[in-house]
Structure 1
């Protein structure tokens, strides 16, 4: 793989395969000395970034914050300043992830989104242009430096406790559950035939398998479960594209934007749900003042029940995935791979169920399954964000941004299983590369840090969380209606 090839990864700056090859070359080691090669490469990066201070360019926050446009993007990581302008197009997590942090301190988000930042720093080296001036604080002056320091100390504590180490047995059981459900569906239709009652029943089995696959691919997109990154990439493609029928590249580019700027208007694609819905207070009022009306937004909470939740998976996500594969990047190598993997999802269904249902009947079965899964995933994915704070860019610290934009749902065996542990959204957003089976262990420590700094730690029952989605949409619709009726057209 060459430097120009846009590798796919866990949202990091580069593909670890590239880094490993580069590490071996720079360390001048034989192929068998992988551990020593990685260590030597890391040491070289540390040594070269530790140049005498007098030889470095020194920058103020005022200078850095001016480089926040597409033509010039600088960011700060651990007081070091990097010019990522030319790298943005090759960033495996998508160019927007970098542009969203241009002109800002990205220390905590960099650490949060990269499973092995020491390796990634090898490719940061050529982007390094200087450091913060001695008199400058570690973060922008508007950020709570004590909160940032406390959060970084919490992360170091969790790393010491091995909270970022994945339990392979846990994920093996989830894979086994999916395969057993799909095999059971085939056995039932093979034994009992393809009557409509049987079809509905196996659709339910496949729906559970599909929902669990969606949660599992969420893990594959964030974690380094295997030591070699190529296996992590392969497993993510297998789960996301083969088991789910969606583009892996599209999902990564979209999902990592959601993580780095959660609930930030114009930057988080998960709250960009127009023109069918408007969310939050600011957008609703602006739409009303400007007489923008694609539907009657006062009734959008009802449309969510009737249209939004049922069609979220089979229509919205599938069409957006196909659009990304076909229109935006045309026929680049990774999108050809995506097309092949996504095609394998449909081919597998046709081979398995085609003999019983035919081509048309199998397509109906696929979309019936997605139709049943859609409300499940729609409610689970939105219950922790739509009812929370939705704002314009405020450049807050990482901890405050994630805590204010997310909430947890009470823990129980059912809630954990039903949501794929996404009921711990606060912990997941603070530590995206943490295996989900450790969230409940970390939650008390996060709650304690919130209490120390006066931040709300929202934890609610699941039914209330579901209801809050509709209540939030109803509130936004009412704000739109009031602005729409009371203000003249602008």
Structure 2
């Protein structure tokens, strides 16, 4: 979900006034990219091809199918009743929750509509109300990632529970050192906790009032939680309800983590912001995943990670159209463009995490 200006000021918040002003979509500002730079040349090609134009019909169909699946899943839940067959419903709803998250992600990036206000409202519906994740918290966090991907000390995604470099792994102490040491083995099991982590981060952001419109966001998060828990505990016995929640939320987190894992893990890691220009910073730290239309749907368009990082507000259906243009441009300027299959992307990510934790596995 969760970015009005993905390469803008990473610490800036979205004031309410900005959400109430209709503005035309603009190309993303390139941090450090001067007029006439390589990125500016590529941007002109992309704009000339019309790939930054909105794709409302495509998103309408996508959202309609996703909402229908969401409602259908809960109707099936009510019809099946107090049964262990509900574990199948839990799996289905975990997949649908992830598709809601993808739509919230696109809304946060201004990929769907032409105004910030409407995109923000869509993010509230898909994120806060639909799956219980704060669009405001996600936007703030994700802005910092896009501004400095794979940059230690600046990208929150590489400063979390995992170590993406041997230098950071060596700083681990106690339980964190244990995680760093075996992080490649623990990676997928830990993703089962990702859903809970996302919910907790959302609630904490509202509680600390660290996001704009925290009152509205908190109210929608509370409404989601009350509706979700009420339905589950009214239909299922307490034991089955707890198992249902654990499976549904656990698989939701696992699915989300599996869509994020191929994107940057195992790619170049920078020690500080500004080490290279904007174009190379985005390309060298990102990895694409090749595949069919099914891969596009399953990964929510994040399989075109390079194009997404270069043009964060580009509508999801246009990313695949931009790919050959970016490949040709990178080849012309001798910039490595990384693209692999899905399984190979996981293998590269795990090898990198295992290597990063190696200092902690050496004999004292």
TM-score normalized with structure 1 length: 0.65
Where 2:171 maps in the other structure, the secondary structure is helix
Tell me, yes or no, if structure 1 residue 468 matches structure 2 residue 348: yes
Tell me, yes or no, if structure 1 residue 10 matches structure 2 residue 11: no
Indicate conservation of the 8 Å contact 1:427/1:446, yes or no.
yes
Going from structure 1 to structure 2, the CA distance change for 1:179 and 1:270 (only over 3 Å counts) comes to same
How far does the alpha carbon of each residue in 1:204-238 deviate from its partner, in whole angstroms, 9 at most, with x for none?
A: 22111101011111100012533443222211111
* 4+ runs deviating over 6 angstroms: none
Where do residues 193-342 of structure 1 align in structure 2 (5 Å cutoff)? Answer: 193-197=81-85, 199-223=86-110, 225-274=112-161, 277-284=162-169, 286-287=170-171, 294-295=177-178, 297-306=180-189, 308-314=190-196, 316-327=197-208, 329=210, 334-342=213-221
**What is the Cα deviation at residue 304 of structure 1?**
1.5
Going from structure 1 to structure 2, the CA distance change for 1:12 and 1:270 (only over 3 Å counts) comes to closer
| Pair member with larger Rg | 1
Indicate conservation of the 8 Å contact 2:83/2:236, yes or no.
no
Going from structure 1 to structure 2, the CA distance change for 1:172 and 1:362 (only over 3 Å counts) comes to farther
Aligned mates of 1:89, 1:150 — CA distance in 2: 27
Indicate conservation of the 8 Å contact 1:410/1:460, yes or no.
yes
Match of 1:175 in 2: 63
Match of 1:377 in 2: 256
Match of 1:116 in 2: 25
Where 2:192 maps in the other structure, the secondary structure is helix
Tell me, yes or no, if structure 1 residue 92 matches structure 2 residue 14: yes
**What is the Cα deviation at residue 174 of structure 1?**
2.0
Aligned mates of 2:90, 2:361 — CA distance in 1: 40
Where 1:237 maps in the other structure, the secondary structure is helix
Indicate conservation of the 8 Å contact 1:257/1:268, yes or no.
yes
**What is the Cα deviation at residue 415 of structure 1?**
0.9
Cα-Cα RMSD = 3.2
**What is the Cα deviation at residue 248 of structure 1?**
1.6
Among residues 29, 41, 50, which one is paired with 1:153 in the alignment? 41
Task: Give 5+ residue unaligned stretches, structure 1.
Answer: 1-8, 14-74, 76-83, 94-113, 122-137
**What is the Cα deviation at residue 152 of structure 1?**
0.7
Match of 1:445 in 2: 325
Going from structure 1 to structure 2, the CA distance change for 1:353 and 1:311 (only over 3 Å counts) comes to closer
Tell me, yes or no, if structure 1 residue 186 matches structure 2 residue 71: no
How far does the alpha carbon of each residue in 1:392-425 deviate from its partner, in whole angstroms, 9 at most, with x for none?
A: 1151211000011101000311211110110000
**What is the Cα deviation at residue 426 of structure 1?**
0.2
Aligned mates of 1:401, 1:207 — CA distance in 2: 33
Going from structure 1 to structure 2, the CA distance change for 1:340 and 1:362 (only over 3 Å counts) comes to farther
**What is the Cα deviation at residue 185 of structure 1?**
2.1
